[in-house]
Structure 1
Amino acid sequence: MRQLASKWLKTKALLHHSYTAVYIPETCLYSEDQLRMMLRRHAFVFIKPVKGGGGVGVMRVAKEGSNYTCTRMEQTHRFSHFRALVIGINKLRIQRPYLIQQGIQLASIQGRPVDYRVKVVKEGEKWGFRAVVARLARPGLVITNLCKGGTLLKGTEALRMIYPQRLASRKRREIIELTRHCIPILERRFPGIEQLGFDYGLDRNGQVWILEVNTRPQ
């Protein structure tokens, strides 16, 4: 069974197809120049290791007036200028390549961000859905990972806590249909994969976003 750790390679594969590309937040490899550009274009961004999971090393970076903030777990660091921000990020980074991803203002439950995990497994020649669940961030955190204190909910239950019932049902169908489109794209690009975990975010307007794809979903 093939596993592929690089978030960047999987993101690029989906960006090459017009149907899936529109669901992906703007993403690029981390560099000082790219960070400056992304913060000009977006209210906030996430910086995450190209390889890794469990929310390890993930940072939320934002420009607030003339200042900058960088949040990792419960700690928020403040910087008065861009160069200080970069130095601060370099101190916090694990020594490995990173991505910068456009920040999505996720719809929330009682102020806690929610995202959705769809797990699919290949059995024989067919792929089957194993789970559609929601992950509710621990109070005070911007990441939803269960290993960081997130709460597991049924996907439909969480959607209905946020959106009217008909819209919740429509969004669940959209996520399922999008997953069905992504599977053959990734399988053609990475032969041998047998399981996938899709992490989806829905913003406050109900727009669906593909946050990342895992080949070793927990």
Structure 2
Amino acid sequence: MLSFGIMTLNKRSEQSYFMELARRANEYNINCFRFVPSDINPITERITGDFYNPASDGWEPAEFTAPEILYDRCFYGNDSHSKQCMSIVNWLKARSDIQFLGYGLPNKLELYEILSCTNISPYLLKTAPYTDADRFLDCLLPDHPLILKPASGSQGHGIYYIEKTGKNILVKTDKKNAQVSRSFESAEKAAGWLNNLTAKRQYLFQPYVNLSNKEEQPFDIRILLQKDMNGTWKELGRGIRAGRNGGIVSNLSTGGSNISFEDWIIEYPSSLRSFLCDELYDIIDTLPAALERKLPPLFEIGIDIGVENNGSIWILDINSKPGRKTILNSQPEKKEELYTAPLHYAKFLAANKELERSTNHEKTISN
């Protein structure tokens, strides 16, 4: 049987998704394992993790060699355990006897540099690396707020709206249960706060674009793409994520909610509906190929797209480890496809070992 391993930094994360996937694995002649990268013995290279037992319908402790196909669902932070696991995953990516379902994306700054040279560039917000407080504050002009966000990861966390109003500088960020704001009376005080915030993590900044609906909720379109059993990109679903009133981000982890794409788009005039659907189709048709021309193979991507009131479309984020809540909430009939897609593609990879292999994966670890 094909051995399939799910990697996570925390076995408590995505438990229901991993369980649903594992329950279906046996039908595909696949043995399913789960483990944390740091649980690999550096001397024997054997792994202490869990094996899914179809007879008991549960995960059981087991020791095993590295599975043939790995599904990386590790979300890294700045802690020592994340850094340790990042190094181990890079080592696994370099091994010729292992295939990853997808090799991930570089950080948002590198991704911007790659895509700004493609025909996707008109959909990208101008993005610059945060280097120091003085340069950032020089770019902050009255009536032109900026968004400051981490260059790697995020899931809606650590994103700041920063606005200059007279001599004051206003900062807002969305937490899980509320929005937090703070006003600095001078550039010097704002610079001190910025230096403290950015000391241990790389940031980028972009112009703020108002992407709110009639209820003043920030919203975006989440589109999930995955490769099918033939290795062909396919849209699995799309839905709308709406944040709290007056919020900055629409992520579910910061208090957002879902509606179906159909319920959202029907509110637009027919001519604008047609335009938006055509633009989304162009992005879906173009983006995966643009990424894979420059990067190692992928399995899935979540595309977050913002729409201004005038119909302007912006790609806000591209994630190689997307969540599934938006699709499950707005299109529950997609459940079976979502849970079996990794298994279908794992079988495809096993049958076409050299087709999806690539080397030099180190730069794809951040997401």
TM-score relative to the length of structure 1: 0.91
Equivalent in the alignment of 1:21: 121
What are the within-5 Å matches in structure 2 for residues 164-203 of structure 1? Answer: 164-203=269-308
- Does residue 49 (structure 1) correspond to residue 150 (structure 2)? The answer is yes
- Does residue 160 (structure 1) correspond to residue 259 (structure 2)? The answer is no
Could you say if the C-alpha distance between residues 43 and 126 of structure 1 is closer, same or farther in structure 2, counting changes exceeding 3 Å?
same
Could you say if the C-alpha distance between residues 37 and 158 of structure 1 is closer, same or farther in structure 2, counting changes exceeding 3 Å?
farther
| Relative contact order higher in (CA < 8 Å, ≥ 6 apart) | 1
Could you say if the C-alpha distance between residues 14 and 37 of structure 1 is closer, same or farther in structure 2, counting changes exceeding 3 Å?
farther
What are the within-5 Å matches in structure 2 for residues 25-40 of structure 1? Answer: 25-31=125-131, 32-40=133-141
Decide which of 146, 156, 179 is 2:252's aligned counterpart: 146
Q: Deviations over 1:127-176 (max 9, x none)?
A: 00012211111234211001111011112322333x32331232122112
Q: Deviations over 1:160-209 (max 9, x none)?
A: 33x32331232122112122111111011112111111111111211001
The question of whether the paired residues in 2 share the 8 Å contact of 1:5 and 1:214 is answered with no
Per the TM alignment, residue 82 of structure 1 is displaced from its structure 2 partner at its CA by 1.9
Decide which of 190, 193, 199 is 1:88's aligned counterpart: 193
The DSSP-based 3-state class of the residue aligned with 1:2 is coil
The question of whether the paired residues in 2 share the 8 Å contact of 1:200 and 1:211 is answered with yes
The question of whether the paired residues in 2 share the 8 Å contact of 1:106 and 1:202 is answered with yes
Moved more, 73-82 or 93-102: 93-102
Q: Which has the higher strand share?
A: 1
Aligned-residue CA RMSD (Å): 1.9
- Mapped to 1, the partners of 2:115 and 2:281 lie a distance apart of 16
Per the TM alignment, residue 14 of structure 1 is displaced from its structure 2 partner at its CA by 0.9
Larger-Rg structure: 2
Per the TM alignment, residue 51 of structure 1 is displaced from its structure 2 partner at its CA by 0.9
TM-score relative to the length of structure 2: 0.55
The DSSP-based 3-state class of the residue aligned with 1:212 is strand
Q: Deviations over 1:88-123 (max 9, x none)?
A: 233445721011111111131311111111111112
| Structure 1: runs of 5+ lacking an equivalent | none
- Mapped to 2, the partners of 1:62 and 1:94 lie a distance apart of 21
Give the % identical residues: 25
